Amino acid sequence: MAQKPSIPKGTRDFSPAVMLKRNYIMEVIKKAFQTFGYLPIETPSMENLSTLMGKYGEEGDRLIFKILNSGDFLKKVDANSDFEAKKMTSKISEKALRYDLTVPFARYVVQNQNDITLPFKRYQIQPVWRADRPQKGRFREFYQCDADVVGSRSLLYEVELIQLYDKVFTDLRLSAIIKLNNRKILSGIAEVIGEEDKLIDITVAIDKLDKIGLEKVKEEMQTKGVSDAAIEKLDPILNMKGDASQKLVTMREVLATSAIGLEGVQEIQTVIDKIAVLGLESAELDFDLTLARGLNYYTGSIFEVQAKGVQMGSIGGGGRYDDLTGIFGLKDMPGIGISFGLDRIYLVLEELGLFPSLEADFTQVLFVNFGEKEADYCLKVLRDLRKAGINSELYPDPAKMKKQMNYANKKGIPYVVLVGEDEMNSGLLTVKNMDDGSQSNINVVDMIKLLNPKNGGDTNT
């Protein structure tokens, strides 16, 4: 029996129609990256496991796809003592698929530190993999579109990255909320409630507030050993109301005894003040204390973006990581970056009907094949059309007319060109409009004008 074809859960095939839309989003993001002075790099799909482990917190580590060693991957395993997951992993797997683009970028910076100019601004658009439970908007293989800068602690980069988000969403005609917080504020909270050593556990739990609710967050903190007294002190903070200015006033009062907490509040205030002067077109900036982003490497500002008008998780996020390269031996290399979630942005644009017409990216003209002599003539015309940027093709075989017309209909090709003895002698092409069935005779120059908008044509004519 033939094997039934399938793909792993959490992965997808993309049809041509879907790819045109995905490419549209990527081109908008890429253009914005370049507008702000970011340059492209790429890193391998796989990294050494040691490069990735321990950088994303305990939960993140569990979601890393490990790659079995080549050949006899069990040869280093002691059957009597190593049959536990943690003991076996280091012996059967030395590599893993990348979990995100930020840690590989930090590794890249350290390895290429003598060849880059600081501050170094890079963008990267590549797939990442996470062994997560697949659901709407959450996949095991998905693309990230990242912009990062290393080599500066200036808050001007926080401002720039917020503007970059706004630029992309404006170009995509998408309204969004950019949520802003600061890990220093969270550190200050842990300090004033007497749980400094539980900072990671607290931030991981707080980050789930929107998903599981306040009571479940409290239960999770209890299971991690956070005291009931400390959790009680968190209540007024987690239930804080008002606009950004009011929240910051409250936080100054709450964190009055925490130097690092007040530093975080001031950084938030500075960024918000500068954005208020510059203004945003399509995005709204909001200070959200519950935003924690449970990744160990963030040290200052943290971002998360949600689209308005749809029920969807975050479509972007990021933050400042002032010592990420230190784990690879390069100290004092501050950095900050953001990421766009391509797959979720696609779903949002689809749901809101915000994709533009991309018909011009499909085949616009099909030349009917009547035989070898006619096909040779059509190839010369095709050469001219393609030079003019018109997507066109020749049917490969002199099949029956009905079959060739069905091919054009199924592919949604708007024009079919028929070239026989008369057309070759006159130099005029017989052009059939597949929408209304009308036919006309025009030369190649007029055909190009008709189909190429740059030459004053209209592909909807």
The H-assigned helical ranges of 180-258 are: 183-192, 199-206, 209-212, 214-223, 228-238, 244-254
The pLDDT assigned to 79 comes to 62
Residue 257 has pLDDT above 80, yes or no: yes
The pLDDT assigned to 158 comes to 97
The pLDDT assigned to 306 comes to 95
Cα 126 to chain centroid distance, Å, stands at 8
The pLDDT assigned to 233 comes to 82
Q: How confident is the model at residue 292 (pLDDT cuts 50, 70, 90)?
A: confident
Angstrom distance (rounded) from CA 165 to CA 280? 10
- Give the tens place of pLDDT for each residue, 205-218: 877 877 788 888 88
First to last CA, the chain: 51
Kind and range of the H or E element at 143?
A: strand 141-150
Angstrom distance (rounded) from CA 455 to CA 448? 7
3-class DSSP state for residue 128? Answer: strand
Query: Taking a C-beta distance cutoff of 8 angstroms, is the pair 374, 401 a contact?
Result: no
3-class DSSP state for residue 322? Answer: coil
The pLDDT assigned to 87 comes to 60
Lowest mean pLDDT among 17-21, 126-130, 309-313, 323-327: 323-327
Backbone angles phi, psi at 455, to 5 degrees: -100, 20
Domains in the chain: ranges and CATH: 19-175+308-356 (3.30.930.10), 183-288 (no CATH), 359-455 (3.40.50.800)
Mean pLDDT of 85-111: 84
Lowest mean pLDDT among 26-40, 129-143, 282-296, 397-411: 282-296
Angle, CA of 130, 131 and 137, to the nearest 5°: 65
Residue 456 has pLDDT above 60, yes or no: no
Lowest mean pLDDT among 32-46, 52-66, 405-419: 52-66
Residue 73 has pLDDT above 70, yes or no: no
Angstrom distance (rounded) from CA 86 to CA 78? 13
Residue 433 has pLDDT above 90, yes or no: yes
pTM for the model: 0.84
CA distances from 409 to 367, 375, 396, 432 (A): 13, 21, 16, 12
Look over the chain and give the mean of its residue pLDDT values, rounded to a whole number. Answer: 89
3-class DSSP state for residue 378? Answer: helix
Angstrom distance (rounded) from CA 60 to CA 297? 12
Q: What residues does 287 pair with on adjacent strands?
A: 180
Residue 454 has pLDDT above 60, yes or no: no
Query: Taking a C-beta distance cutoff of 8 angstroms, is the pair 301, 336 a contact?
Result: yes
The pLDDT assigned to 393 comes to 97
* DSSP state, residue 9: T
The pLDDT assigned to 294 comes to 55
The pLDDT assigned to 461 comes to 39
**Structure tokens that stand for 71 in this block:** 């050949």
Residue 459 has pLDDT above 50, yes or no: no
Angstrom distance (rounded) from CA 429 to CA 445? 10
The pLDDT assigned to 78 comes to 63
Residue 232 has pLDDT above 90, yes or no: no
Query: Taking a C-beta distance cutoff of 8 angstroms, is the pair 108, 51 a contact?
Result: no
The pLDDT assigned to 358 comes to 85
Q: How confident is the model at residue 254 (pLDDT cuts 50, 70, 90)?
A: confident
The pLDDT assigned to 210 comes to 74
The pLDDT assigned to 453 comes to 55
Q: What residues does 178 pair with on adjacent strands?
A: 285, 305
What is the 3-state secondary structure of 316-377? EEEEECCCHHHHHCCCCCCEEEEEEEHHHHHHHHHHHCCCCCCHHHCCCEEECCCCHHHHHH
3-class DSSP state for residue 26? Answer: helix
Angstrom distance (rounded) from CA 161 to CA 178? 11
Mean pLDDT of 422-434: 95
Angstrom distance (rounded) from CA 213 to CA 337? 28
Mean pLDDT of 252-273: 94
Mean pLDDT of 33-47: 97
Determine what percent of the chain is predicted with pLDDT higher than 70: 92
Residue type, 364: Q
Positive or negative CA dihedral for 244, 247, 253, 259? negative
